[in-house]
């Protein structure tokens, strides 16, 4: 058996995954110069990266590379993303959680040896605010960012924002050397043209600098000799290769051509030997069923149908399709997040039949729509939909399957024209505020045709959680939200898929982190 760690963590970036479907390159593990040596680290992953400019990146591979090249004001320790800790800066906030003051710590420097100052922080973040087409732009919405002095930056929010520290840990908000970036086209007024420069060389303070970038084959990093933080790497060179087929990643890892494989599925990691270590964890993305409460739902637009489906399903049997690391979704807030419920729904056919009777269901056929070409966390949607169909038919609910390509089905889901759908959602940063969009009147709720007036009570609970400034009250509000959604929402959470990172016995420290996938600098030679 392989060695396996099970750690509760959270996965982010469903929006990025949706935007980047199908952008992995070829399967060759030998594109470019990928030679190994005692001072080199080779990592295989299926690429989801468009740039190494932190102001434009917002995808899994891009975040991992940005974490290696750039540092953020806030950090997390290891794989634990429950509590933000100081990165480049410590912080204080007012009682209303609308003003945050960050103070740069130590005498940190960029890769050219110049000091990190408050002006660099303000420029880096205002640059993103100025680029409306930048993917991380929305993370800084409603914020005013000002320089107080060389070491101090103030953030002012239009509304309470207790999640700001968690947001600022996102690698897309990495701090760049303002002088260097401005010299190469950087600007805060929306005219920025520095991406081309930042795709050729880095301008950060991370433990690595960019050597070469090839979006179709590999990214090569080299050690930052000026780095004076606490994550100095033992490797002089890192090669991150685009290997989109998990079978090829497995062969490379077993054959010694790579040290880390990031995309093996549950079945593959179950058969690894003692010379392979697997970090196997829940990803935090939630696969769920949606029942549209609007016109698209037709006669079946009734939350009692969702309740019936919720109790008709055998979740243990569904979980069998997910493999290592996966867990049952306990609600719209996944395990590991503030307010998540301790346990999920258990099958109860009597409750299901009672809910069907109350809904007035008389055998109408539900058409289950889903993407059939886009697995999430190793979970294929077609066999999952088939098992859902069989279980619901056993409970007296007739279901027809309507698979479609991801790009086709995405439009129906986003535009709210899907009556009964199988989809997934993941947070954009490590905070439970990411799941409030499931509330009536908000983004995902509206995709289900669920207006705020359809359930004012849950809408009010969500608004209270968003505005909370007291940590204990905030946790209670999120818990109440999760409980109410399980009782009355038009969503049926099913599975939190697993994430498996496998590494050879020659290295240690290759563990999953839901914000940046994996911290390359934490990987060290074993022994």
Span 452-474, pLDDT tens digits: 999 999 999 999 999 999 989 99
Pair 49, 167 in one domain = yes
Q: Give kind and range of the element (H or E) at residue 257.
A: none
Pair 61, 117 in one domain = yes
pLDDT of residue 5: 38
More confident of the two residues 202 and 37 = 202
pLDDT of residue 2: 41
Pair 343, 226 in one domain = no
Q: Using an 8 Å Cβ cutoff, are 489 and 458 in contact?
A: yes
CATH number of the CATH domain containing 66? 3.40.190.10
How far apart are the C-alpha atoms of 117 and 196, rounded to whole Å?
24
Q: Distance of alpha carbon 513 from its chain centroid, rounded?
A: 9
Q: Distance of alpha carbon 508 from its chain centroid, rounded?
A: 23
How far apart are the C-alpha atoms of 136 and 139, rounded to whole Å?
6
Q: Using an 8 Å Cβ cutoff, are 290 and 448 in contact?
A: yes
pLDDT at residue 368 is higher than 90: yes
Sign, CA torsion 125/131/134/136: positive
Pair 514, 490 in one domain = no
How far apart are the C-alpha atoms of 154 and 4, rounded to whole Å?
43
For 474-485, b/e burial (b = at least 16 CB within 10 A) is beebbbbbbebb
Residue 298: C-alpha distances to residues 395, 450, 461 (Å): 21, 13, 28
Pair 273, 325 in one domain = no
How far apart are the C-alpha atoms of 420 and 308, rounded to whole Å?
14
How far apart are the C-alpha atoms of 31 and 23, rounded to whole Å?
17
Q: Using an 8 Å Cβ cutoff, are 232 and 245 in contact?
A: no
Pair 306, 256 in one domain = no
From 70, 199, 58, select the one nearest 139 (Cα to Cα): 58
How far apart are the C-alpha atoms of 501 and 524, rounded to whole Å?
15
Give the other-Cβ count within 10 Å of 27's Cβ.
Answer: 15
Backbone phi and psi for residue 418, each to the nearest 5 degrees, phi listed first: -90, 125
**Angle (deg, nearest 10), helices 349-359 and 303-312:** 160
Pair 296, 396 in one domain = yes
pLDDT of residue 527: 74
Q: How confident is the model at residue 25 (pLDDT cuts 50, 70, 90)?
A: very low
Q: Using an 8 Å Cβ cutoff, are 19 and 59 in contact?
A: yes
Pair 473, 332 in one domain = yes
Domain extent at residue 347: 286-496
What SS3 state is found at 317? helix
pLDDT at residue 222 is higher than 90: yes
pLDDT at residue 40 is higher than 60: yes
Span 376-401, pLDDT tens digits: 887 889 999 999 999 999 999 999 99
From 522, 2, 486, select the one nearest 250 (Cα to Cα): 2
Q: How confident is the model at residue 284 (pLDDT cuts 50, 70, 90)?
A: confident
Q: Using an 8 Å Cβ cutoff, are 134 and 122 in contact?
A: no
From 2, 497, 31, 473, select the one nearest 220 (Cα to Cα): 31
CATH number of the CATH domain containing 390? 3.10.105.10
Pair 147, 10 in one domain = yes
What single DSSP character describes residue 334? P
Pair 263, 390 in one domain = no
Answer whether 0.75 is exceeded by the pTM.
yes
pLDDT of residue 266: 82
Give the strand order in the sheet containing 399-404.
327-328, 491-496, 286-291, 420-425, 366-371, 399-404
In the chain, how many domains are there? 2
527 token code pair = 């022994």
pLDDT at residue 26 is higher than 80: no
Backbone phi and psi for residue 404, each to the nearest 5 degrees, phi listed first: -155, 160
Pair 72, 93 in one domain = yes
187 token code pair = 């600007």
Place of tokens 């050690």: 223
* Strands 276-282, 399-404: pairing kind: unpaired
Q: Using an 8 Å Cβ cutoff, are 489 and 306 in contact?
A: yes
Backbone phi and psi for residue 370, each to the nearest 5 degrees, phi listed first: -165, 155
For all residues of the chain together, what is the average pLDDT? 91
How far apart are the C-alpha atoms of 318 and 72, rounded to whole Å?
39
**Least confident window among 161-165, 166-170, 420-424, 469-473:** 469-473
Pair 357, 447 in one domain = yes
pLDDT of residue 37: 52
Sign, CA torsion 353/358/360/364: negative
Q: Give kind and range of the element (H or E) at residue 241.
A: strand 237-242
pLDDT of residue 19: 38
pLDDT at residue 356 is higher than 70: yes
pLDDT at residue 366 is higher than 80: yes
How far apart are the C-alpha atoms of 243 and 496, rounded to whole Å?
24
Q: Give kind and range of the element (H or E) at residue 316.
A: helix 315-319
Q: Give kind and range of the element (H or E) at residue 281.
A: strand 276-282
85 token code pair = 């800790």
**Least confident window among 143-152, 263-272, 310-319, 415-424:** 263-272
For 401-422, b/e burial (b = at least 16 CB within 10 A) is ebbeebeebbebbeebbbbbbb
């Amino acid at each position: 058996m392989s060695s396996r760690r099970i750690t509760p963590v959270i996965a982010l970036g469903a929006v990025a995954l949706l935007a980047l479907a199908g952008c992995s390159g070829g399967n060759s593990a030998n594109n470019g110069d990928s030679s190994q040596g005692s001072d080199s680290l080779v990592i295989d992953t299926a690429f989801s990266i468009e740039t190494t400019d932190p102001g434009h990146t917002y995808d899994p591979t891009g975040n991992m590379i940005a974490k290696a090249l750039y540092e953020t004001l806030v950090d997390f320790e290891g794989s634990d993303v429950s509590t933000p800790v100081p990165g480049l800066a410590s912080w204080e906030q007012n009682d209303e959680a609308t003003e945050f003051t960050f103070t740069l710590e130590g005498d940190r420097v960029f890769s050219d040896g110049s000091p990190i100052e408050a002006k660099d922080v303000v420029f880096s973040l205002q640059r993103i605010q100025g680029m409306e087409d930048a993917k991380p732009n929305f993370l800084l919405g409603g914020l005013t960012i000002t320089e107080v002095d060389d070491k101090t930056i103030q953030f002012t929010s239009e509304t309470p924002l207790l999640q700001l520290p968690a947001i600022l840990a996102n690698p897309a908000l990495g701090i760049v050397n303002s002088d260097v970036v401005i010299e190469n086209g950087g600007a805060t007024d929306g005219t920025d043209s520095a991406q081309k420069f930042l795709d050729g060389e880095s301008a950060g303070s991370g433990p690595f600098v960019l050597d070469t970038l090839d979006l179709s084959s590999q990214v090569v990093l080299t050690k930052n000799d000026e780095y004076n933080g606490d994550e100095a790497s033992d490797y002089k060179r890192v090669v991150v290769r685009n290997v989109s087929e998990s079978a090829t990643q497995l062969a490379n890892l077993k054959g010694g051509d790579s040290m880390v494989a990031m995309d093996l599925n549950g079945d593959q990691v179950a058969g690894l030997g003692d010379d392979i270590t697997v970090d196997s964890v829940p990803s935090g993305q939630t696969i769920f069923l949606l029942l549209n409460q609007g016109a698209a739902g037709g006669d079946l637009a009734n939350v009692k149908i969702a309740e019936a489906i919720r109790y008709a399903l055998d979740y243990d049997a569904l979980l069998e399709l997910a493999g290592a690391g996966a867990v049952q979704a306990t609600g719209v807030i996944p395990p590991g997040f503030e307010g998540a419920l301790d346990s999920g729904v258990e099958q109860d056919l009597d409750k299901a039949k009672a809910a069907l009777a109350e809904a007035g269901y008389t055998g109408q056929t539900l058409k289950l729509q889903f993407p059939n070409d886009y697995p999430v966390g190793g979970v294929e949607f077609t066999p999952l939909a088939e098992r859902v169909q069989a279980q619901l038919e056993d409970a007296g609910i007739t279901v027809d399957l309507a698979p479609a390509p991801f790009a086709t089905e995405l439009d129906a889901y986003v535009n709210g024209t899907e009556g009964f759908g199988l989809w997934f959602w993941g947070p954009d940063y490590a905070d439970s505020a990411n799941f409030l969009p499931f509330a009536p009147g908000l983004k995902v709720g509206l995709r289900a045709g669920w207006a705020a007036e359809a359930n004012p009570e849950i809408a009010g609970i969500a608004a209270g959680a968003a505005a909370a400034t007291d940590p204990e009250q905030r946790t209670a509000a999120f818990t109440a939200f999760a409980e109410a959604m399980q009782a009355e929402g038009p969503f049926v959470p099913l599975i939190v898929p697993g994430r498996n990172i496998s590494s050879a016995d020659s290295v240690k420290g290759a563990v999953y982190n839901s914000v940046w996938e994996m911290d390359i600098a934490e990987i060290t030679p074993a022994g």
